[in-house]
Amino acid sequence: MKRILLTGFEPFHEYKINSSWSLVDSFENTMSDLECIKLRLPVEFKAVSNLVPEILKQYQPDIVLAFGQCTGDSIRIERVALNLDDARIADNSGYTPIDKPIHDDGKNAYFSTLPIKCIQQAIADKNIPAIISNSAGTYVCNHLFYELLYWCDKLSLPTKIGFVHLPHLPEQVIGTQNPSMSLQQMQIALHEIIKIL
Ligand code: PCA
Rounded Cα gap, residues 40 and 25, in angstroms: 8
| pLDDT for res 19 | 98
44 in catalytic set: no
165 in catalytic set: yes
For residue 8, which atom of ligand 1 is closest to its CA?
Answer: 6
Mutate to test the pocket of ligand 1, among 20, 25, 70 (most ligand atoms within 8 A of CB): 70
User: At residue 99, what are phi and psi to the nearest 5 degrees?
Assistant: 50, 45
* Cα atoms in the 13 Å half-sphere on the side-chain side of 3: 10
Ligand 1 center to residue 139 CA distance, Å?
A: 7
The series of mean pLDDT values per 10 residues for the chain, 197 residues long, is 98 97 97 96 98 98 98 98 98 98 98 98 98 98 99 98 98 96 98 96
| pLDDT for res 50 | 98
Is residue 91 within 8 A of residue 179, CB to CB? The reply is no
64: exposed, middle or buried (Cβ count in 10 Å: 0-12, 13-18, 19+): buried
The H or E element spanning position 130 is strand 130-133
